[in-house]
Structure 1
């Protein structure tokens, strides 16, 4: 096209153009034919995308079905049933007691076990302080038990009652060697004086704990430790026990028989 004596090219896509074959023959494609070719290309591309999208959806659906089938088999099939029970942390409690409390359903899949209910049943054993039940795939149940440990005992007509650090009476049987005897008017896990004595015993330094033969508790504020060598520690109440624990061991190195630390800032020895 000439404008002002010069040739210019047009950008109009509808203008005819020449296409030259390898043999040099020029072929002219009209704008209508070109648009038809472009439309066919777009239709072919859309169909290809739709086909690929359909294949993806079918693949995802098939994967979901397979996963669901596997989950159902695992949930209901006895293939994942319990074959082994491991019990850890017991000495006073027997393995048989734990097994009977667990009540593991025979042939039931591990996925269907109610481990919380199983742990609750085992924790109802008097000597069990805490219980944890775990699944260990493919076929093991692991039970971890923390037993109650006596810190005091008191004598009653039916025998020695053991009390742990939570002030729980958990057994009536001979006290282990080294556990101090509690002497108080109304001993028991719900008695305030008994609970105060348990708190005091928990505060006693480990080096002194084995030397305590008896705890005499007249009230929550009048608690004394009677040592196996004949000495007496007037502890007082459970308050300020950390400070009392810090001064009692050095004080016992001094000559005397009665060591009053009921007021840890003003200790006396008699």
Structure 2
């Protein structure tokens, strides 16, 4: 009679222990099943993806540059020559020496401009790449301001004193007389500066300018009258004085001291 209650008591104890065990495992099992405690996937910060993007951009740009540099994708197909007056386009193109079909990025624009500028009649040259397929050459020609006489003919000089051509002078171009006419000669530079400073109404009457030194310049008009100019100082004032002075009869007009001009 004593065993039966003991059996019930043991059975109850086992049931309670099982229940406690189940109650301890139940919530944990549910959390695992529902993933409540599972950590969220780690995201890479945006700045860690930048190197990949940069590498892609560099690869694309590098491919485009290689295609432009080594293939005829951007090849020279047209050459424009701008600014020629006395020169011919053929002279400029021959000096330019840029063959059709050359990749545009490989054209040495500086070297090409230097070759064109080496033409004696060219004062300056500029070479540009005009994408996708054009080379443009802009030329500024030298314009004659005076001429000088030499055993081999008449030489044309521009406003800087550069002797750039042996050719007949244009009508009305003044003759320059100097000991060593040309670029770098101080007397030549003084004569050219005086001509540039003269009023147009006076300059168009000049047939000859004689520069014995930088302070002894005179001009001879087409009608034979002489204007003693002196140096380059006060040239604007001298020009303003010379024009009314030339309305008076005489052969030699001295404006070297513009405040005290004389007529002889």
TM-score per shorter chain, which class?
0.7 to 0.9
Partner Cα separation in structure 2 for residue 179 and residue 141 of structure 1: 36
1:216 aligns with 2:215: no
- Provide closer, same or farther for how the CA distance between residues 239 and 40 of structure 1 changes in structure 2, counting only shifts above 3 A: same
**Which shifted more, 103-112 or 241-250?**
241-250
Q: Determine the structure 2 residue equivalent to 1:264.
A: 258
Is the CA contact 2:83–2:139 (under 8 Å) kept in the aligned structure 1?
yes
1:40 aligned onto 2:39: yes
Residue of structure 2 equivalent to 1:24: none
Partner of 1:69: 63
Query: C-alpha deviations, 1:170-223, integer Å up to 9, x for none?
Result: 111101112101123443334332222122222222222221111123332221
Secondary structure of 1:244 counterpart: helix
Would you say 1:155 and 2:155 are equivalent positions?
no
Instruction: Give the number of the structure whose residues are more often helix, by fraction.
Output: 2
Larger radius of gyration: 2
Q: Bigger CA drift: 65-74 or 124-133? A: 65-74
Residue 246 (structure 2) pairs with residue 252 (structure 1): yes
**Structure 1 match to 2:127:** 133
In the other structure, the counterpart of 2:5 is none
1:114 aligns with one of 94, 108, 113? 108
CA distance in 2 between counterparts of 1:182 and 1:53 reads 74
Whole-Å separation in 2 of the counterparts to 1:52 and 1:219: 77
In the alignment, the residues of structure 2 paired with residue 246 and residue 230 of structure 1 have an alpha-carbon distance, to the nearest angstrom, of: 20
**Contiguous gaps of at least 5 residues in structure 2:** 1-25
Report the RMSD for the aligned CA atoms in angstroms: 2.6
- For 1:6-51, what per-residue CA distance to the aligned partner results, in whole angstroms no more than 9, with x for missing partners? xxxxxxxxxxxxxxxxxxxxxx989xx7xx946713xx2x2xx228
2:186 aligned with 1:192: yes
Change (3 A) 1:93 1:170: same
What's the CA shift for 1:72?
0.9
Q: SS of the residue aligned with 1:135?
A: strand
Structure 1: where are the runs of 5+ without partners? 1-27
Asked if the contact 1:169–1:189 (Cα under 8 Å) also holds between the matched residues in 2, the reply is yes
Say which SS state the counterpart of residue 187 (structure 1) adopts.
coil
In the alignment, the residues of structure 1 paired with residue 181 and residue 194 of structure 2 have an alpha-carbon distance, to the nearest angstrom, of 15
Q: Distance in 2 between matches of 1:246 and 1:37?
A: 102
Q: CA deviation at 1:61?
A: 2.8
Count of paired positions: 235
CA distance in 2, matches of 1:143, 1:55: 46
Written as runs of structure 1 = structure 2, the 5 A alignment for 1:11-30 is none
Q: Indicate whether 1:50 and 2:44 are aligned.
A: yes
Partner of 1:95: 89
Q: Which whole-Å CA distance do the structure 1 matches of 2:127 and 2:107 have between them?
A: 10
Q: Is the 8 A contact 2:78 2:100 kept in 1?
A: no
Residue 96 of structure 1 and its aligned partner are, at CA, apart by 1.0
- C-alpha contact 1:183 1:215 (8 A) present in aligned 2: yes
Contact 2:77/2:100 (8 A) holds in 1: no
Counterpart for residue 177 of structure 1: 171
Task: Quote how far apart the aligned CAs of 1:99 are.
Answer: 0.5
Q: From the superposition, tell whether residues 155 and 39 of structure 1 become closer, same or farther in structure 2 (CA, over 3 Å).
A: same
Mapped to 1, the partners of 2:187 and 2:82 lie a distance apart of 35
**What whole-Å deviation, never above 9, does each CA across 1:98-147 have from its counterpart, x for those lacking one?**
11111103422111111011101100000111111111111111111111
How far did 1:60 drift? 4.1
